[in-house]
């Protein structure tokens, strides 16, 4: 798998050439923030990108992503098959300002969501395939690249534009400050006097191809993911997860530790991170190769950092340079590592690049000189769907049983899930710091595992959420603004990250495998299912796939285009405990189709992916249609087109009429499908007719996602 093109914009400059020059000069770009006002006190040192167009109709994150994407795509004259972006901030910098100005016009918030970054890039570059967003805090960029690698290996795409992006904003600037993780004197990774990170911004993109381009820059030979399952914000003290991620990347690449000639460390400059990472490196390498963290030069650009460092690793193998560990004057003897004091010109063949994040989320990448090693991983032949062993859901009606009972009466289940019901089975100590979304997610996870009746635990977690932890985000920003930018809650900051809930699930179950949170608006659950389908064979064992969103009285109506101002709120979600093993499974799930942008002829492609019109009639007994209110016209048009072309004459349930409007309503629809398959019948009142008996091959259920994107999930008997 080749790295055909790269793009990078960071505090060091724009473009691979400017970046290389800055690295050769061992220059640090960290300086006091001037992007926004910070109340009283001196601005903290940050990594800020100069030269963006301000003001712009687009948020800063979107602009940064576009610049990096333009550079990476300059080597290619056709759209990529798929786009995968790691981001945590989306349009939050703009949103922060709008909230302070008490703007209530929904249109102003249209670029808030993480999904909007990927959708924007997909639109600009004409990508018709999946446009996915990975949000695993500071490892997002690396995790996105690992997911892209798997998509290419499976043959689901031949070219993927992948990367990471984040912009400076009040949330991260004051958030990391409230955790006392910012070094007031600039960032000094691995130094004995290091005092923390410098929050930064930037973007980097890589064009990955399975076919060898004319001039490949490097190969992405392997990728490894893991989760500490230890603490929401602090790394495992022995670097357990870091070690697992590096080992997994080497195994995926078919390399030995001795093959690595340079390690690009995560090296944030916080005392705990650098110590944990050093322990992991010293455990894996008998004599560690040259290594450095570039965060003393760039700062820590959070979701972008994994991609920025993948591009820097690409520069290292293609331009023969090992970057310095800028900012470190006195290497900490306790770490037992000797970081590069200055840049070195040297021909190297293999780099390992580390990224770790909140939620204990870890990713490690092996990047090598083209054709230096024979790849270990061959295109695999899995992707045979997922075997569901247990499920659970929450809606305004309550838990799975309460929800299914109301639906069987043909009654709506919309509304806000009751918080007491949600927390009913969770230990008070475990959830005392958790707000609505995390509580709901933990409860869903526990419910799905219990429902399976298996004495087994998940190894990996895949979570989809359209809008993330709205309560924590709102509470953090409100307290900050109300105190004149002086006081912010560290607990809310840690809880505000999109992958907070999935990190909590990992801690609860000790799930140390891949842990991915996706955010794709109304298709967030579908993105999580896609990620699970791509990665499950890699991680083995069982997994949890979840989708959940919370109804927040202020933010939900502002952000979600389908929630009308002052409308009654609805929320909830669904969870599945699954594996690849069909034996004893309750039912099977597939995601045969997912296209982020609807195009002419996309209904034909959808039909084709389902095996063509003739097979449809013989297979399906029910169609659950997901049409978000904001895309009702388009969704109804697509549905009518699909029914006409397929000739399918089965009851159609527009499930949002029952669940209410929230981004991950499709997770509840999926639980409905599984529940009906287990019971062997669909309640007649749901379809305003007779009970539908589900038997054999003819009793499958199709769940379509319609509107701005198009997706199909298929649920069938094993």
Partner 1 sequence: MSTLIEELKVKIIDILNLQDVSPENFDENAQLVGGPLGIDSIDVLEMVVMVEKDYGVIINSQEVGEKVFYSLTSLAGYIEKGKSGSAS
Residues forming contacts to partner 1 in the complex (CB under 8 A) are 178-180, 231-234, 428-429, 432-433, 483, 486-491, 494
Q: Is 602 among the catalytic positions?
A: no
Nearest to 601 by CA among 649, 635, 638, 628: 638
* CA distance linking residue 138 with residue 228, whole number of Å: 14
To the nearest whole angstrom, how small is the minimum distance from the Cβ of residue 432 to partner 1?
4
To the nearest whole angstrom, how small is the minimum distance from the Cβ of residue 506 to partner 1?
17
Q: Which residue of the set 266, 389, 498, 590 is catalytic?
A: 266
Q: Is 138 among the catalytic positions?
A: yes
HSE on the CB side for 614, CA within 13 Å? Answer: 0
Residues 344, 301: contact at Cβ < 8 Å?
Answer: no
What length is written for the chain? 718
Alpha carbon 305 to its chain centroid, in Å, reads: 14
Span between the terminal Cα atoms of the chain, in Å: 34
Q: What share of the chain is helix, strand, coil (3-state, %, to 5)?
A: 40, 20, 40
Residues 312, 23: contact at Cβ < 8 Å?
Answer: yes
Q: Is 154 among the catalytic positions?
A: no
Largest CA distance in the chain: 77
Indicate the residue among 37 and 180 with the shorter CB distance to partner 1: 180
Q: Which residue of the set 127, 138, 169, 587 is catalytic?
A: 138
HSE on the CB side for 416, CA within 13 Å? Answer: 13
List 390's β-bridge partners, or say none.
577
| Residue 98 neighbours by CB distance under 10 Å | 17
To the nearest whole angstrom, how small is the minimum distance from the Cβ of residue 228 to partner 1?
15
Residues 549, 664: contact at Cβ < 8 Å?
Answer: yes
Indicate the residue among 52 and 479 with the shorter CB distance to partner 1: 479
Q: What is the DSSP letter of 629?
A: G
Indicate the residue among 54 and 420 with the shorter CB distance to partner 1: 420
Output the CA torsion 211→132→265→30 (10° steps): 120
Nearest to 573 by CA among 433, 463, 709: 463
To the nearest whole angstrom, how small is the minimum distance from the Cβ of residue 365 to partner 1?
29
Residues 59, 65: contact at Cβ < 8 Å?
Answer: no
To the nearest whole angstrom, how small is the minimum distance from the Cβ of residue 39 to partner 1?
13
To the nearest whole angstrom, how small is the minimum distance from the Cβ of residue 179 to partner 1?
6
CA distances from residue 599 to 122, 207, 303, 595 in whole angstroms, order as listed = 12, 23, 30, 9
Nearest to 521 by CA among 662, 654, 396: 662
* CA distance linking residue 701 with residue 714, whole number of Å: 6
Helix extents (H) in 28-130: 60-73, 92-100, 114-125
Indicate the residue among 2 and 474 with the shorter CB distance to partner 1: 474
To the nearest whole angstrom, how small is the minimum distance from the Cβ of residue 488 to partner 1?
7
Residues 181, 302: contact at Cβ < 8 Å?
Answer: no
To the nearest whole angstrom, how small is the minimum distance from the Cβ of residue 429 to partner 1?
5
To the nearest whole angstrom, how small is the minimum distance from the Cβ of residue 103 to partner 1?
28
Number of helical (H) and strand (E) elements in the chain, helices listed first: 24, 27
Indicate the residue among 482 and 690 with the shorter CB distance to partner 1: 482
To the nearest whole angstrom, how small is the minimum distance from the Cβ of residue 428 to partner 1?
5
Residue 634 tokens read as 């388009």
DSSP per residue over 216-260, as a string?
Answer: --EEEEEEEEEE--S-SSS--TT-HHHHHHHHHHHHHHT--GGG-
Residues 293, 267: contact at Cβ < 8 Å?
Answer: yes
Q: Which residue of the set 62, 112, 177, 300 is catalytic?
A: 300
Catalytically active residues, by annotation: 138, 266, 300
């Amino acid at each position: 798998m080749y790295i055909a093109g790269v793009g990078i914009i960071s505090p060091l400059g724009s473009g691979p050439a400017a970046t290389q020059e800055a690295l050769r000069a061992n220059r640090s770009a960290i300086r006091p923030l001037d992007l926004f006002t910070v109340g009283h006190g001196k601005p903290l040192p940050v990594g800020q990108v100069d030269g963006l167009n301000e003001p712009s109709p687009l948020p800063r994150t979107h602009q940064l992503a576009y610049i990096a994407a333009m550079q990476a795509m300059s080597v290619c004259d056709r759209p990529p098959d798929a786009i995968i972006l790691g981001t945590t901030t989306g349009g939050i910098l703009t949103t922060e300002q709008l909230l302070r100005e008490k703007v209530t016009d929904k249109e102003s918030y249209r670029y808030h969501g993480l999904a909007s970054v990927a959708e924007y890039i997909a639109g600009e570059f004409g990508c018709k395939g999946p446009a996915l967003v990975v949000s695993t805090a500071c490892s997002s960029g690396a995790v996105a690249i690992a997911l892209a690698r798997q998509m290419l290996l499976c043959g689901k795409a031949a070219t993927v534009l992948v990367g990471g992006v984040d912009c400076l904003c009040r949330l991260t600037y004051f958030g990391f400050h409230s955790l006392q993780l910012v070094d007031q004197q600039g960032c000094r990774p691995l130094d004995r006097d290091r005092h923390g990170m410098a929050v930064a911004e930037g973007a980097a993109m890589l064009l990955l191809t399975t076919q060898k381009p004319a001039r490949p820059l490097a190969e992405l030979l392997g990728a490894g993911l893991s989760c500490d399952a230890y603490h929401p914000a602090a790394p495992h003290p022995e670097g357990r997860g870091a070690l697992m991620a590096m080992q997994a990347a080497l195994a995926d690449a078919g390399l030995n530790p001795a093959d690595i000639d340079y390690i690009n460390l995560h090296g944030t400059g916080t005392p705990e991170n650098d110590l944990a990472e050093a322990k992991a490196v010293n455990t894996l390498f008998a004599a560690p190769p040259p290594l450095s963290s570039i965060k003393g030069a760039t700062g820590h650009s959070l979701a972008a950092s994994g991609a920025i460092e993948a591009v820097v690793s690409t520069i290292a193998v293609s331009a023969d340079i090992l970057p310095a560990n800028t900012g470190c004057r006195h290497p900490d003897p306790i770490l037992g590592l000797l970081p590069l004091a200055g840049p070195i010109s040297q021909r190297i063949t293999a780099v390992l690049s580390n990224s770790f994040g909140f939620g204990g989320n870890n990713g490690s990448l092996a990047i090598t000189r083209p054709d230096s090693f024979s790849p270990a991983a061959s295109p695999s032949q899995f992707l045979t769907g997922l075997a569901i062993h247990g499920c659970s859901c929450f809606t305004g009606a309550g838990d799975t049983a309460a929800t299914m009972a109301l639906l069987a009466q043909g009654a709506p289940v919309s509304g806000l899930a009751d918080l007491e019901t949600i927390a009913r089975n969770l230990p008070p100590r475990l959830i005392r710091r958790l707000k609505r979304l995390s509580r709901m997610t933990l409860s869903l996870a526990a419910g799905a595992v219990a429902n399976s009746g298996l004495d087994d635990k998940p190894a990996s977690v895949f979570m989809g959420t359209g809008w993330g932890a709205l309560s924590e985000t709102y509470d953090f920003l409100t307290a900050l603004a109300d105190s004149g930018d002086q006081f912010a809650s560290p607990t809310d900051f840690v809880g505000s990250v999109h992958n907070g809930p999935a990190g909590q699930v990992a801690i609860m179950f000790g799930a140390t495998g891949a842990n991915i949170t996706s955010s794709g608006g109304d298709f967030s659950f579908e993105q999580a299912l896609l990620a699970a389908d791509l990665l499950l064979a890699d991680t083995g064992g069982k997994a949890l796939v979840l989708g959940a969103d919370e109804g927040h009285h202020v933010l939900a109506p502002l952000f979600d285009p389908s929630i009308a101002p002052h409308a009654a709120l609805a929320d909830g979600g669904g969870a599945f405990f699954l594996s690849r093993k069909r034996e004893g499974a309750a039912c099977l799930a597939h995601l045969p189709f997912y296209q982020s942008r609807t195009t002419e002829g996309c209904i034909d492609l959808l039909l084709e992916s389902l095996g063509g019109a003739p097979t449809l009639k013989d297979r399906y007994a029910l169609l659950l249609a997901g049409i978000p209110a904001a895309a009702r016209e388009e969704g109804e048009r697509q549905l009518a087109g699909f029914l006409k072309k397929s000739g399918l004459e089965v009851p159609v349930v527009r499930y949002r009429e029952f669940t209410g409007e929230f981004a991950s309503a499709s997770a509840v629809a999926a639980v409905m499908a599984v529940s009906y398959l287990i019971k062997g019948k669909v309640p007649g009142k749901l379809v305003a007719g007779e009970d539908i008996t589900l038997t054999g091959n003819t009793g499958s259920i199709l769940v379509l996602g319609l509107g701005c994107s198009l997706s199909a999930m298929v649920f069938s008997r094993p």
